[in-house]
Amino acid sequence: MIDLPVLKAADRKPTIDPANAPNVDLREELFQLEKEGELEIIRVPDNHVELPTKYGRMKKIPIDKTWHHKSCGQCGHIPGYSASIFWLNREFGLDYHDPTDQTSCTAWNYYASATSNPAAQAAVAVRNFAAAAEVGYFPLIHCGTSFGHYKEVRHALIHQHDLRRKVKQIMEKLGKKLIIPEEIVHYSEWVLAMKDRIAERQTLDMSMITATVHPACHYHKLIEEDAIYDKEIYGAQRTAIITGTLEALGITVGDYSTWYDCCGFGFRHILVSRDFSRSFAVQRKIEVMIEEVNPDVTVTHDTGCVTTLDQSQFAGKAHGKKVGLPVMSDSQIAALAMGAHPYKVLQLHWHNTDNKAFLEKLGIDHRAKWAEFEAEVAKIKDGTNEFMTWEDAK
Amino acid sequence: MANENIVIIGGGPAGLEAARGIADIGYKAILIEKRERLGGMPDEAQYATLTPDRRDAEEAMDEMRDAVVDNPGVELMLNTTVTGADGDVGNFTVKAEQNGSAVEIKAGAVILATGFQHFDPGRETQKYGYYEHDDVITSVDAEKMFKAGKFVRPSNGETPKRVAFIQCVGSRDRQIGNEYCSKICCGISSQQSIEVKQHVPDAKVFIFYIDMRMYGYWENEIYWPAQEKYKVNYIKGMATEIIKKGDHLIVKGEDTTMRRPMEVPMDMVILAVGMEPSIGTKEMADIFGITKNKFGFIETIGGALNTVSTNVEGVFAAGACTGPADLEDTVSAAGSAAMKAIGAIRRVGVPA
């Protein structure tokens, strides 16, 4: 026992009083602008829960009436990611809307210096918000890049009169309003808000699983005051996102030293310096996770993070690096826990890194499951079915 | 006619100096302190030394305390919390709770000297891991260790070989709304870096900074000796995060002079935490109807030429309750507040 006047980290008690701590609540300015007739606001639906943010503000997370703003990368590379989100909504019988008139947020090009100007960027965002409002649903953003970008767009629209004026002009041409959601909500916040209900419906024991978590930079480093924190998780010293969900499912979350690092996607690096992304993902994230935790899976909550961490491992393998760690989203893990099909719903065959050992550890007969999936594919091939339905995916 | 007593709220350096000054001039100071001891933050946080003269903090506070204790011109009310206030200049009634009983104090003027609190590094700067890593401490923790005469790693009691200071923790940070410089941290870290070297001469000591703001004589009294005599390394660039690797901490960040990212192993990291208004400062501002600035400090209305008057006539503020301040500024403002408080009473008129 060391006799020191300084407490150990575990015994240090934050002096923060959320009621008195300086805080930023953009909504106050948003509501004021609404009063002045500058814009309209999409209110969070009545059926919502409140979760604490970094500095204590309670953020409203809608449970239903959600308008699913999908991710280009998810739909293109890992479709089971968003399919799992929809599957969860359907299992809980929630009223959601999967729009066909949503556009890309164009933020990825923005990071690669390939898009035009702030007004165009903001107009794309507002056009999507308006589309949600027109059908009476609240935007739920699947993509971390879109989520981070929309938070920045909202911030800019609130603080820049000129930008509002330009966007208004564009919206008028489209026959739409300048309308902004009361909260910008990421789907993983919805998963976290649903964690106890998911755990109640859990059919697959996951207590033997150890996972590492990668929180997305876009989630907790941009407009950081909007991210969810929980004093029960890392003492609110890190975001509670993903970890809270996994722990509710009985999964052990292992800590590793480079948790704060980017996955390697790097906003623009994956586009302009892909070798750097591959090296970073393998050497700074995957290898460190394996060396320090040796987890069964790593779980993240963004398109870029899942794809970069997953699809970079082939390069590491070629160079004899310590790789081979399955990568999934929290929505996929949650759906799997509730009995979703690993191929028909999670579509794990789109993932690059071998995940069969992970499935076996969970007691899932992946060969049988794959045969079931192939049987559905055969029906499409022979013209019996045009496509797979939710009923077929059961 | 005005009541000629002056209530001072807060028994730290500003309150003690104001009380001493008022008594010296021949007026009566009623010094209200919520703690059972006088001495304010230097006492409460157990500072080892004062900046820049490196005087023993306890000895200096004893001197300030001795000037008011048993002084017939000063009435001390310890364990007393102000709960309300009525009246105007010349005739204030201050309501308080003393040891659980309600009391009322009449006064012609009031001086607020309710000070500051140290920034809590867990509030925002999670990336520095204060609540995760034993060997990440604050400058306040470092003071306590210096005072105890033992500078070792809290994790294992071993002598640190590499120690880093990180500047501007909770200061100059737009993200959390603390856009201001806390003024004192550059000097204190430089002084503490000297103390680290005195405790552990073989240690390598680093200071990561945005700018070193060593105003006035602090430049030659602290900054150059730290570099030239004690060989402290100043690195321009902010640390972005601190992680633990094995038995060591890794400080990550950017060395802006070398224009490259850096990752340097450390045994201990000291966070130079800034100043924020104390809860008492915010509460007293509300009780007396005084305007706070956007950061929660008391707003004085006289600009550069009058640093103690507030929007309420007869209520003055001194020291770090008006914004980041070193001890020199604090005691100077206390003297000014004492003089202006007496002036306010005299203008209203005192009993013949």
pLDDT tens digits, residue range A258-290?
898 999 998 788 888 888 999 999 999 999 999
**Both A182 and A291 in a single domain?**
no
Q: Which of B219, B242, B274 is the last residue of a domain?
A: B274
pLDDT recorded at residue B351: 56
Overall average pLDDT of the A226-246 stretch:
91
Residue B134 and residue B90 share a domain: no
CA distance B133 to A11: 11
Judged against a pLDDT cut of 70, whether residue A17 lies above it is answered with no
The residue-averaged pLDDT of A55-70 equals 94
Q: Which of B203, B184, B192 is nearest to B139 (CA)?
A: B192
Q: Are residues A253 and A331 located together in one domain of the fold?
A: yes
- Residue B289: its pLDDT value, please? 97
Q: Of the given ranges (A156-165, B175-184, B225-234), which has the lowest mean pLDDT?
A: B175-184
A208 confidence band (pLDDT: 50, 70, 90): very high
Residue A19 contacts B, CB cutoff 8 Å: no
Give the pLDDT band (50/70/90) at residue A187.
very high
CB contact under 8 A, A2 and B244: no
If asked whether residues B220 and B319 sit together in one domain, one would say no
Closest residue to A6, CB basis, from B141, B177, B296? B141
* Selected residues 26-55 of chain B with any CB under 8 Å from a CB in chain A: 46
Reported confidence tier of residue B245, pLDDT bands at 50, 70, 90 = confident
End-of-domain residue from the set B274, B293, B310: B274
pLDDT at B132: 87
- Examine the domain organization and report whether A140 and A175 are in the same domain: yes
Per the domain annotation, does A319 fall within a domain?
A: yes
Q: Is residue A378 one of the residues assigned to a domain?
A: no
- Do the chains contact at B132 and A237, CB–CB below 8 Å? yes
What residues in B contact A234, CB-CB < 8 Å? 132
pLDDT tier, B349 (very low <50, low <70, confident <90, very high otherwise): confident
- Does A183 lie in the same domain as A70? yes
pLDDT score, position A316: 93
The pLDDT tens digits of the residues spanning B222-234 come to 999 999 999 999 9
Is A260 at the interface with chain B, CB within 8 A? yes
Are both A233 and A338 inside the same structural domain?
yes
In a shared domain, residues B259 and B126: yes
One domain, residues A221 and A368: yes
Subunit contact B120:A16, Cβ cutoff 8 A: yes
Q: Which domain holds residue B138?
A: 119-274
Element (H, E) at A299: strand A297-300
| Whether the predicted pLDDT of B49 surpasses 80 | yes
Angle of the B57-66 helix axis to the B139-148 helix axis, nearest 10: 90
Q: Are residues B48 and B110 in the same domain?
A: yes
- Residues B288 and B335 reside in one and the same domain: yes
pLDDT at residue A109 in the model: 80
* Interchain contact A12–B (C-beta under 8 A): yes
Query: What number is the average pLDDT over the span B274-284?
Result: 96
Q: A242 with A352, same domain?
A: yes
- Whether B305 and B250 map to the same domain: the answer is no
- Report the pLDDT value the prediction gives residue B25, as an integer from 0 to 100: 96
Rounded to the nearest integer, the mean pLDDT of chain B is 93
- CATH, residue B138: 3.50.50.60
**Which residue in chain A is spatially nearest to B151 when comparing CA positions?**
A4
Q: Given an 8 Å threshold on Cβ–Cβ distance, is A237 in contact with B126?
A: yes
The span from the CA of A307 to the CA of A281, in Å, is 10
Give the residues across from B266 on adjacent strands: B249
Tens digits of per-residue pLDDT, B126-138? 678 898 899 999 9
Q: What percent of chain A has pLDDT above 70?
A: 97
What CATH number did the domain enclosing A67 receive?
A: 1.20.1050.140
Partner residue facing A237 (CB), from B131, B134, B152: B131
Residues B75 and B165 in one domain: no
Q: Which of B145, B178, B295 sits opposite A6 (nearest CB)?
A: B145
Specify whether B54 is located in the same domain as B200. no
Best of B41, B46, B130, B131 to mutate (most A CBs within 10 Å, chain A): B131
Q: Domain check: are A85 and A133 in the same one?
A: yes
B126 shares its domain with B237: yes
Burial letters B9-24, b for 16+ CB under 10 A, else e: bbbbbbbbbbbbbbbe
pLDDT of residue A332: 98
Q: Which residue has the tokens 């704060």?
A: A260
What predicted TM-score, i.e. pTM, was given to this entire model? 0.72
Mutating which of B44, B47, B119, B132 best tests the A interface, going by the most A Cβ atoms within 10 A?
B132
On whether any CB of chain B is under 8 Å from the CB of A24, the answer is: yes
Kindly indicate the confidence band of residue A16, based on its pLDDT and cuts at 50, 70 and 90.
low
Specify whether A299 is located in the same domain as A361: yes
Chain B residues in contact with A238 by the CB 8 A cut-off are 126
Does A381 reside within a domain?
no
Using the predicted structure, report yes or no on whether residue A20 has a pLDDT greater than 60: no
Residues A143 and A170 in one domain: yes
Residue A23 lies in a domain: no
Looking at residue B261, its pLDDT comes to: 84
| Cβ distance of A14 and B120 shorter than 8 Å | yes
Residue A377 lies in a domain: no
Domain containing A56: what range?
Answer: 28-187
Chain A: closest CA distance from residue B264 (Å): 14
| B158 & B256 share domain | yes
Of A5, A17, A235, the CB nearest to B46: A5
- Whether A2 shows a pLDDT value over 70: the answer reads no
Is the confidence at residue A18, as pLDDT, over 60?
Answer: no
| CATH number reported for the structural domain that contains residue A351 in this entry | 3.40.50.11810
Q: What is the pLDDT of residue A274?
A: 86
Number of Cα atoms under 13 Å in the Cβ half of residue A357: 9
Residue holding tokens 């737009």? B174
Check whether B352 has a pLDDT greater than 60. Answer: no
Question: What is the rounded average pLDDT of the residues A82-96?
Answer: 98
- pLDDT, residue B126, reads 60
Among A285, A94, A264, smallest CA distance to A190 is for: A94
Q: Does A4 touch chain B (CB under 8 A)?
A: yes
Q: Which pLDDT score, from 0 to 100, does residue B127 have?
A: 72
The two structure tokens encoding residue A294: 């040796």
Give the residue from B241, B258, B274 where a domain finishes: B274
Among the ranges A5-9, A13-17, A188-192, which has the highest mean pLDDT value? Answer: A188-192
Confidence class for position A389, pLDDT limits 50, 70, 90: very high
Of A6, A9, A15, the CB nearest to B120: A15
**pLDDT score of B122 more than 80:** no
Co-location of B109 and B53 in the same domain? yes
Indicate whether A62 and A127 sit together in one domain.
yes
**What are the beta bridge partners of residue B95?**
B84, B104
- Establish if B141 touches chain A: CB-CB under 8 angstroms: yes
Mean pLDDT to the nearest integer, B65-73: 97
Angle between helices B139-148 and B185-199 (to 10 degrees): 40
If you write DSSP's letter for every residue of B62-83 in order, what string do you get?
A: HHHHHTTTT-TTEEEE-SEEEE
Amino acid residing at A175: G
Q: A126: closest CA among A93, A163, A78, A81? A: A163
- What pLDDT is stored for residue A134 in this prediction? 97
Average pLDDT, chain A: 93
Please tell me the predicted confidence (pLDDT) of residue A353.
96
Q: What is the mean pLDDT of residues A229-233?
A: 89
The predicted structure's pLDDT at residue A19: 52
Between positions 147 and 176 of A, the ones with CB within 8 A of B are: none
Residues B155 and B261 in one domain: yes
Distances (CA, A) of B344 to B90, B301, B311, B335: 8, 15, 14, 14
Single-letter code of the amino acid located at A233: I
Domains of chain A: total: 2
Residues A136-145: pLDDT tens digits? 999 999 999 9
* A316-373 residue pLDDT tens: 999 999 999 999 999 999 999 999 999 999 999 999 999 999 999 999 999 999 999 9
CA angle at residue B139 from B134 to B144, to 5 degrees? 80
